[in-house]
Structures are given as C-alpha cells and as structure tokens.
Amino acid sequence: MHNNFFEEFSFLCKQEGFKEIGFSDAYVQTDALEKYKNWLNKGMNAEMEWMERNLESRLDIRKMFPWAKSYAIVLLPYFHNKTIGNKYSRYALLKDYHFV
C-alpha cells in the first residue's frame, strides 16, 4: 500500500475521533505469541474467556484473511462515568460567563 493511503486513512480516523492509529504487517510475532499465551495461562484475562477462543486465528490474522498483507489498529477512548474526587457543579467547570 502507498503512504498516501496510510496518511489519508489516519486523517479520516482522527476526524472520526480515534486518538491513535497504527499499522502492522500481517505476520506472527513469535515473541508476542509466547507472551500472550503466558498471559492467558496466568489467568490474566480474568472472566474474558473470549480471549482464549480461536487463539490461532486471533494471533495470526492470515488464518482468517489469507489475502491480508497488513492491518490497522485504532484507539478509541470511551467515557468513564466515574466521579473522581470532589463533586463540582457543571457551571464551575466552564468558563466564567462574566468574562466570555
């Protein structure tokens, strides 16, 4: 793929609210594979049992998409509806309307 594609794709993703975009060649990184398996064996996935299913396909995208040469990874933050610290009225967090 051409660099222009990656740049345009990245631009479009950022417009849609994705905070980070990364690209990787479609190959198995054996060190990552072993780390992931060890992580699962330690039970680090807790109740997320889906992470153990279809392990080979999950770790090698070419098993599901044999024609794949690369893939994109995107980061999309989500809102945590948790109160941290003291509670403030919404107006106290905005610009002072006297000075706008």
Sketch the domain layout of the chain as residue ranges.
1-26+69-100, 28-66
Mean pLDDT for all residues in the chain: 82
pLDDT in tens, 24-63: 888 887 888 889 999 999 999 999 999 898 888 878 888 8
pLDDT-based confidence at residue 85 (cuts at 50, 70, 90) = low
Q: Could you tell me the CA-to-CA distances from 14 to 28, 70, 71 in Å, in that order?
A: 27, 19, 17
- On the question of pLDDT at 1 being above 60, the answer is no
Task: Look at residue 40 in the predicted model and tell me its pLDDT.
Answer: 94
State the pLDDT at residue 31. Answer: 84
Q: What is the pTM of this model?
A: 0.54
Supply the DSSP string of 12-41, one letter for each residue: HHHHTT-SEEEEEESS--HHHHHHHHHHHH
